[in-house]
Structure formats: C-alpha cells, structure tokens
Structure 1
Amino acid sequence: MLHIPFWKRLLIWGVTAVILFMAVPNLFYGRVELHNDAVKTIEAAGETPELAADAAGWPGWMPSGLVNLGLDLRGGAYLLADVQVADVYADRLDGMWPDVRDALREERDTVGAIRRIDGPADELHVRIANPDGMARALEVVRGLARPTLSLTGVGSNDIEVAGQGDVLIVTLSEAEKRATDDRTVQQSVEIVRRRVDEVGTREPSIQRQGESRIVIQVPGIGSADELKSLIGTTAKLTFHPVVSRTTDPDADPGARNLLLPSMDEEGVFYVVEQSHVVSGEELTDAQPSFDQNGRPAVNFRFNPTGARKFGDYTRDNIGSPFAIVLDNEVISAPVIQDHIPGGSGIITGNFTVEGSNELAVLLRAGALPAEMIFLQERTIGPELGQDSIEAGRIATIVAFAAVLVFMFLSYGLFGIFANIALIINVGLIFGLLSIIGATLTLPGIAGIVLTVGMAVDANVLVFERIREELKTARGPSRAIELGYEKALSAIIDANITTFITAVILFALGSGPVRGFSVTLALGIITSVFTAIYVTRLIIVTWYDRRRPKTIEV
C-alpha cells in the first residue's frame, strides 16, 4: 500500500519549513544587510541613535543570514599581484649572520678575525683573517645547517657553504629556496586575508594562482586604489640600534649601516645598524591608544622570543637611543631609560587617530614577507553588478517558466505537483546558501539556472516509470509505489555522478568555478530531496484524500 508514516511526514515538512525560513531574509536583502552592519558596528564601537534605528529595522528573533553577493554582482575591486619571493633570500641570510658570527668567533684561534663583507643579495660573504683555517670554518658553519622543511626537500639542508680564498660564502640550497618561495606566498595570502578581514569587508576572495601570484577580489570596496593602499604596504616594523643622527641626506652611513629618514622630523636622518634587534614578526598584538600627552599612539606586545631579545637589549643599552623603523622610515628614536622586561611598549609619533588605527591593523596582520607587484587591477562598479543581477534574474525566470509549462503540458496534474516541488527546491537552495554563508557569483546564478532544468529530471524518471506500471493494469496506488521504488536507483546514480563532478570543480577550481560548483552541488542535494520526499509526499497526500480509481500521468 502507498503509505508514509505520520512521523516521517512531519520530519519532511519540518526540515523543508526550517530551511525555507532561513531563506526569508533574502527577500528583504537591503533591510537585513543594514541590520547586520549596524549590529556589527554596535558590538565594535558602541551604540548611536542611527545605528539603533538600523538595527531595529529587522526583528531580532528572525534569522539574519544572507546569501553574500560576489564581486561580479555587487561591484568591488580586483587585483592580481606577483610576490617577489627572491626578496626573502637576503632577509633569511641576514638573519643567519649573528649565528655564523658567534660560531666562528669560538674558532678565532683557527680562523682568525672575521668580518662580513658586501656580496650579492642572495649570498652571505664572510672574510676570515687566516685562510688556512677555511676548512675548519666550513665545517663549523655547515654545522649550523638545518633540514629543509618541505615534502619536496626531504633529505636536504637549508644552506650550502663554500669557500673562495679567504671568503666563506653561505647560500640557501635549491630545496630551501623552493620551500621558502612556497611559504612566502602562503604567508602573503594569509596576511592579505587578515588585513582585508580587519576592515570588515564582506566575503573577500583571496587565492593563490600559480607559483608566485595572488588573486584578490573584494566585493563592496570603492576602488582598486583603495584596496592597494590597504594591502600594498609591507608594514615592516623593526627595532635598530642608533649609530648617529644627521641632517645630511647624502651622508655615508658606513659598512653594514643604513641611512633612514625620520618620519616626524623633516630633514633629519638616522644612521642605524643594518641588523635589527627584534622585528615585527615577533609581535603578538598591536592596539591603538594614546600616550601620556593624549596624542594618538600604538601599544605593542612581543611574543616570548621577542620579549627576551627586547628585554636583554634594553638592559644592556640604558641611555642609548633605539630606532623604531616602519618601512624604512624612523617613526621615533627614544632613549632607553630603563630595563623593559615585559616585552611591551608604545610607538609614538605624529599620528592621527585614523593613522594609529591603520598602523595597528597592519601590525596585527603582520608584515608582508616580500614586496608585491600588481600586474592587473580592475574596479567593477555596482551598476555593472546590478546589470548582472538583472540578467541572472531574467535567465532564471525564463528557465523557470519554461520548465513549469513543459511539466504541466507533459504530465498534467502530476506536472503541477512537480512544479510546486520545484519552487520549494529553489527556496531550499537559497536557504542552504544562507546557512553556510556562501557567496553568490554570476557563475553561481548559472548553477541555479542549470539546477532548475535538472531538478525535474528525477520527477520525469518517476512519472515515466509510473506510466509503465499503469500499463500492466496495476492499481494507481501500486503503480505510484513501484514507480518510486524502481526509479530510485537511476535517480541516485545520475545525481551522484554530477555531485562528484561538482566536488572536483570545487577542489581544483578557484573563484567563479567554485561559485558554480557550490550552487550546483546544493542544487543536486535539494533536487534529490524534493523529488524523493517532497513530491512523493504531495502525491500521497493528494491520493489519500481523493482516492481516484484511475490516474493519468
């Protein structure tokens, strides 16, 4: 007999109702978006009458999850950046110099005095006073090598050491360079993502492309220049011992020193040691604040390693100036008054409130490990996004209407049942997109349009099977039951293969391809659910009430 237990009917309609309820906010997109933005701002900065009015524009007991609109629908900025991975090699070798120096100093009786000399950026050159001790020097420095941390560099060390006369040369191994390149790009992706997230943009898409490129798409931002100003700054913070101060922009800083301009004092330059004591990479937090005079400043705190270095240096250099350098400009050069063991401090300068906030954001996000060169940049206006939405809406309506008409003409009353399930299916797709916080792009709309066409496939299989069963002179109840039973395997097989394709597109694709795969996969899930459960429940409910002697499909 054709029968569905009451608990199962309740479960089917309950699941359907909950997901459709989650889709309701998308019918009032502007009001709900204003409400969400106001609530987020109130939590971060406090309540104002305007924000309270915006927050009250949508009931708090209603769901407020929305289908986020992508760059091509909302407008925004697009950047294609190339990470200059080779820049990191010099920093790596520069950071190794203290270890190399300390190791060779312990062998002073064999190698003599040591001195670092200039060489190519990706090489560390050290001259030893006693060339006869080169073999021992090579042995000592090679002992500093560490295994390369990468799958492709198993069994390799991170450095290669060679000698030419009285000069010892340290370079990164090829395996280490490849591992460094990979880490640099991955780190750049994460830092860019954190910087963009810090300013509250909606659903940015930041993905690696190829060996050293990053694609950055941020919906809702005004221009590509605005996006570049946010992520294009390296925000590289370092702390250097001060050698001297001068007003001569052409002064010779001397070997292993840097001549850097002052950010606050016009025409003033500082000569600082090239090797930093501690860097911004060891910062754990940075927050905007005010100094003792009420001027905007930034508080910072180091991790344990940075705190130890910072504390040791301030203990040993009381009375000496200490330069705080941001992107090759001296923010300030205070004199160390006392030992600072806690690993925290304050950066003062001629900041505005906005400037201190921006600097804190950049420092919290971390320094970009290498410079990024922007190869492509585009700004997509909201008008173009609105045109895309209208085009997608028209395409969906046309596809929807064509399917509805076809199903009615082909299957009559059963076609109407399938059409009701199709309408529910589209609502379920938007409900699931809202629940998972997915971003809808123009290819995503194409996935929905395709789902509308595919959604009736399962119903077509069932209805055709019911037709075949009716020809064997079975009763309507048995024909409907056998139609669903015998069509089930074909429905599952056909949709599983398409779902696997969607998963592969999501795993291997990027950007628009992923948007298409998400809506396609969700459409397959909702289509199977509505065909196997919702449509069947509608037909069974109709049959229980009408009890027809014959049916026509």
Structure 2
Amino acid sequence: MLDIPFWKRLLILALVAIGLLYAAPNLFYSRVEQHNDAITAAERNGFETPEEAQARAGWPGWLPSGLVNLGLDLRGGAHLLGEVHVQEVYKARMDGIWPELRDALVAQRETVGAVRRVQAEDGQLAVEIGNADQMAKAVEIARGLATPVTSLTGAGQSDITVSAQGNRLLVRLSDAERAATDDRTVQQALEIIRRRIDEVGTREPTIARQGKDRILIQVPGIGSAEELKQLIGTTAKLTFNPVVGRTADANARPGPGNVLLPSMDEQGVYYIIEDSPVVSGEDLTNAQPSFDQNGQPAVDFRFGPSGAKRFGAYTSANIGQPFAIVLDSQVISAPVIRQAITTGSGQISGAMNVEESTRLAVLLRAGALPAKMTFLEERTIGPELGQDSIDAGRLSSIIATAAVVAYMVASYGLFGVFASVAVVINVILILSVMSMMGATLTLPGIAGIVLTVGTAVDANVIIYERIREELRAGKRIVKAIDDGFSEAMSAIIDANVTSFIAAAVMFFLGSGPVKGFAVTLTIGLITSVFTAIFLTRLLIVFWLEWRKPKQLIL
C-alpha cells in the first residue's frame, strides 16, 4: 500500500538531513579549507602556530568539515608530463653486480687469472680476465650469480645474460629483466613523487602512469609548474662514499672503480671517491630540517638498523680518514671521521638556507627517485581561469536545473513541484557524498552533475505517466498512485543499472577527466533513485494526508 511506516519516514528524512549537513561546509569553502589546513599542518609539525589556531577556530570542530576538492581545471595549479630515464637503472644494476662478480672471480684467480673491469656500453658490465682460455669457467662463475626474473611475463628466465668476446666477459640484463626493471622503476618513481607531493600538504593531486615510461602529474593549488618541478625534479640521491683523494683538476682520471665529483661548497675543488657507497639514502628512516652548531641551516638524519650497522662498522675501521656525503653527484661535505658513529644518526650541513634545508629534508624522507626525469610538457593554470570555470559550471547547473523545474511544473503541476524538490535535494546529496569521500570535482564532473539533473527526473516521468494510465483506467487516487510507483519500479531499475554499467566502464578504463565524469554520474544515479522513488513518494504521501483530495488531475 501507499502508506509508509513511521520508521521508514524517519529514515528518509534523516538521510536527507545528513546530506544537507555534510554538504553545508561547501557553502563556506575558504573558511573550512583554512580550518582543515591548520589541523593538517599542526599534526604534521607537532605544534600549532597562533595563525593556525585562529584558522582552526574559524569552523566549529563538531561540524563536518569535508569538502569537495576542486580539480586542476577549477582551482588552478600545475601540470607536468615527465619521462623516466629507465636506462640509468641498468647502469646502477651493473655497478651493483660488479663487486660480487669481482669477488667470485678473484676467488678463482689461479684459474681465470687477473681480473679487471673495463669500459663498456651503458647497461653492460665488461670484465677482462688474464687467462682467455679459461673464459668458459669465467662465464660459468658469472652465470652462477643470476637470479630468476620476478615478474609474471619473465617467469623461468634469468635476470642477466653472460657472453664472451676474446678475453672479455660481458654481462647485461636480460630482456625479461629489463622489462620488469622498467616497470618497477616507473612504479617506484610514481610512488616517490606521490610521497613528496603529499609531504607538502597539497590536495588531491593526480599522479598517474602514462604509457611505458611517462608519468602525468597534476597538482591543484600549487603556484607554478616551476615550483612543482623543484619539488619532484630532483633525484635527491644521497650516498656516503669513501674518499680516495682531492684535486683541483676537473679532468683528472679517477681510476677504475672511482668517480670524480665536484664540491658543492668549494669552487674548483673535486673529490675522487669510490663509486660503491658505504650507505645510501635508501637506508634513511627520517630526515628533519635543523640548525648546526654555528646556527646555520642543516638537516638531521637517522639510519635504519641495517644502515646504522654498516655505517658504524665503516667509521670504526676508518677513524682519521675522510668520507664524502654526496647528494645528486655533488659532494656536500667531506668530514674526517673523528670517532666511530654507531648511533645511526648524523647531520648534513653546508651552503643552504632554511627553505633549501626544508626541501632537502622532504626529498630525503620521501626517498630518492630511482632515475632522472625529463619534463616533456609543463603547464601552469592560473586561479583566474579556474574561477572562470567554476562560474561557468555554476551558471550551467543553475540554468539546467531551472529549465528542468520549469518543464516538470508545466507538465505535472504540483507533482512536478515534488519532482523539482527531489532534483534539488539530489544535487545536494551528490555534493555531500563527494564531500564525505573527499572526491575531486573537475569540469567533466560538473558536466556529470548537469547530466544527472537532466536525467534525475526520468524516474519521476515514468512514475507519473504510469499514474496517469491508472487514473484513466478509473482507479481511485491512492490506488492509482500506489500502482504507478509499483509498476514503474522495474523500468527505473533497468534504466539505472544500464547507466551504472556504462559509468563503471568509464571509471575503470578511463583516465583523468573521464573518471571525474564517471564518479559524479555514478553518485548521481544512486542519489537520483533514492530521491525519485523514496523522497518523492514521501512528499506525495504527506500531501495526501494533509489535503485528502477527492480527485487528481495529472
């Protein structure tokens, strides 16, 4: 029957009230946003400034504070498309294999002879052995270092290939391992970029892989593409290497196993250091900006247990010797080891200001990019353009809603008013659900809302037309309305299920703007079914109980 139990009425009204409550913060967007930013900053820093306390007090803490995040096209911000140089990782892998291969060959020196690494193409490791007639033995030793490829496509294959050319042993990554390495490198770069951006408190960035070796980065609210590049464009590769020597000759030959790197602080000074580091930034567990004993900006760091153990063992065995702190192929400093450093903590100081020390700490905490990135496309979208988009979206939504309301009222009279109320509440519910989810609204998302406004009344049109048919068949008002809702239910469900399937396909297979459209469309489908079937029905029941009409013209 058309009668709705009290508990169901209460539940429908409660859901509407909750939707209004969670959508309300969007009416005070700037105030709530400052409130949320102040809380986030205080939690991140461990203390609260007076300005942050004032911003936090600008919105009551007991009220919901979720907002619909504005996308890049609405808020303005920076857009970058970066290419990851995955080939750099091949060289690093060969450098990592060399010490183990060297030790294995040296252990068989009586058989293979003297062992020496020589120049080779990028991504290859070339080793000369003294006894060329024992190359088969050397190849066997090298192949013994191979491990299985850790990927589904490379299952059963080795990670390296070994070949011989005269008295040279050549080692390179196998094709399967290169493919797996490429995938891991891009995924690692993507996650590190995400951590770096999250560290500075930006909202809802879009960070997605595109193609084989490219990453799309869109960050709303950031000042410029150049600022974003400074944050993520540095590899921040930190290593601690033994020092072999120091020179003023930029063309000095460092010798095998060594590299020549410039000093960051001392103009014209170069250090010859061992290529293999004692520990690296990957061993760090924390890094925080601080000040050194002279009051100059610095960065305090701490190693994990494994790194602390290796660093402690090295410093214990090399007291009185210098070691280099290397950041992105530049020697920050080369202090002399005065005593064993077994605590696992230390400090980086040098020519840097407070802003640079803070940025370095962020980069070190997030980790080093596994390879260099080249930015193929960069674009800054100003907030004025974003505001224009918001204004255009708001105007289109208002016009669409007004047109739908006018049509429904003209076609169905009072019942059209009920449907119009449901449409307005439907839009509010969409915003409330997006606020609770922390979803991002983009221009395509606004298009999804506008489309939802146009289609939200479809269910009401089907119901009202069924009611008209029942009235023409001579049924009484209550019976006609009840049967109209019941008979229209299957058609409404079928129509929305097919639309939901299309929206799901767009979400899972689409990217960027297409996903934004799919999210708002999906939410709109769910809320429109609720408002059309349950809320409209409740409004009609209230009207019937109040007016008790004898006849109905629809």
TM superposition score normalised by structure 2:
0.97
Segment drifting more, 243-252 vs 49-58: 49-58
SS of the aligned residue for 2:413 comes to helix
Aligned to 1:9: 9
Q: What is the one-letter code of the residue matched to 1:196? A: I
Q: CA separation in 2, counterparts of 1:474 and 1:490?
A: 21
Q: What is the one-letter code of the residue matched to 1:283? A: L
Aligned to 2:122: 121
Q: CA separation in 2, counterparts of 1:189 and 1:425?
A: 37
Identical positions, percent: 65
1:438-517 paired onto structure 2 within 5 Å:
438-517=439-518
Aligned to 2:173: 172
Aligned length: 553
Aligned to 1:343: 344
Q: What is the one-letter code of the residue matched to 2:146? A: A
Q: After superposition, what is the alpha-carbon deviation per residue over 1:428-449, rounded to whole angstroms, capped at 9, x for unaligned?
A: 0010010000111111100000
1:199-210 paired onto structure 2 within 5 Å:
199-210=200-211
Q: After superposition, what is the alpha-carbon deviation per residue over 1:12-44, rounded to whole angstroms, capped at 9, x for unaligned?
A: 111111121000011111221222223333444
Q: After superposition, what is the alpha-carbon deviation per residue over 1:371-417, rounded to whole angstroms, capped at 9, x for unaligned?
A: 11111111111111111111111111111011001111111111110
Q: 2:393 aligned with 1:369, yes or no?
A: no
Question: RMSD of the alignment, in Å?
Answer: 1.5
1:237-252 paired onto structure 2 within 5 Å:
237-252=238-253
* TM-fit CA distance, 1:290: 2.8
Aligned to 1:25: 25
Whether the aligned pair in 1 keeps the contact of 2:323 and 2:335 (CA below 8 Å) is yes
Q: CA separation in 1, counterparts of 2:517 and 2:17?
A: 26
Whether the aligned pair in 1 keeps the contact of 2:326 and 2:333 (CA below 8 Å) is yes
Q: After superposition, what is the alpha-carbon deviation per residue over 1:194-247, rounded to whole angstroms, capped at 9, x for unaligned?
A: 111111111111111111111111111111111111111111111111011122
Segment drifting more, 263-272 vs 299-308: 299-308
Q: CA separation in 2, counterparts of 1:367 and 1:207?
A: 18
* TM-fit CA distance, 1:479: 1.3
Q: 2:417 aligned with 1:416, yes or no?
A: yes
SS of the aligned residue for 1:64 comes to coil
Q: After superposition, what is the alpha-carbon deviation per residue over 1:430-475, rounded to whole angstroms, capped at 9, x for unaligned?
A: 1001000011111110000000001001111111111111222111
Q: What is the one-letter code of the residue matched to 1:333? A: A
SS of the aligned residue for 2:196 comes to helix
Aligned to 1:135: 136
* TM-fit CA distance, 1:342: 3.8
Aligned to 1:332: 333
Point out where structure 2 has 5 or more consecutive residues left out of the alignment: none
1:70-469 paired onto structure 2 within 5 Å:
70-469=71-470
* TM-fit CA distance, 1:310: 2.0
Segment drifting more, 168-177 vs 483-492: 483-492
TM superposition score normalised by structure 1:
0.97
Segment drifting more, 1-10 vs 270-279: 270-279
Point out where structure 1 has 5 or more consecutive residues left out of the alignment: none
Segment drifting more, 160-169 vs 313-322: 313-322
Q: What is the one-letter code of the residue matched to 2:175? A: E
Aligned to 1:528: 529
Q: CA separation in 1, counterparts of 2:522 and 2:120?
A: 56
* TM-fit CA distance, 1:252: 2.4
Q: CA separation in 1, counterparts of 2:409 and 2:465?
A: 14
* TM-fit CA distance, 1:485: 1.2
Q: 1:279 to 1:47 in 2, by over 3 A?
A: closer
SS of the aligned residue for 2:503 comes to helix
Q: CA separation in 2, counterparts of 1:174 and 1:250?
A: 36
Q: 2:47 aligned with 1:41, yes or no?
A: no
Q: CA separation in 2, counterparts of 1:255 and 1:106?
A: 20
* TM-fit CA distance, 1:326: 0.3
Q: 1:285 to 1:21 in 2, by over 3 A?
A: same
Q: CA separation in 2, counterparts of 1:49 and 1:164?
A: 70
Aligned to 2:549: 548
Q: CA separation in 2, counterparts of 1:396 and 1:141?
A: 68
Q: CA separation in 1, counterparts of 2:249 and 2:138?
A: 40
Q: CA separation in 1, counterparts of 2:341 and 2:236?
A: 24
Whether the aligned pair in 1 keeps the contact of 2:289 and 2:298 (CA below 8 Å) is yes
SS of the aligned residue for 1:133 comes to helix
Q: After superposition, what is the alpha-carbon deviation per residue over 1:111-160, rounded to whole angstroms, capped at 9, x for unaligned?
A: 12211111011100111111222112111211111111111111111111
Segment drifting more, 430-439 vs 303-312: 303-312
Q: CA separation in 2, counterparts of 1:457 and 1:190?
A: 43
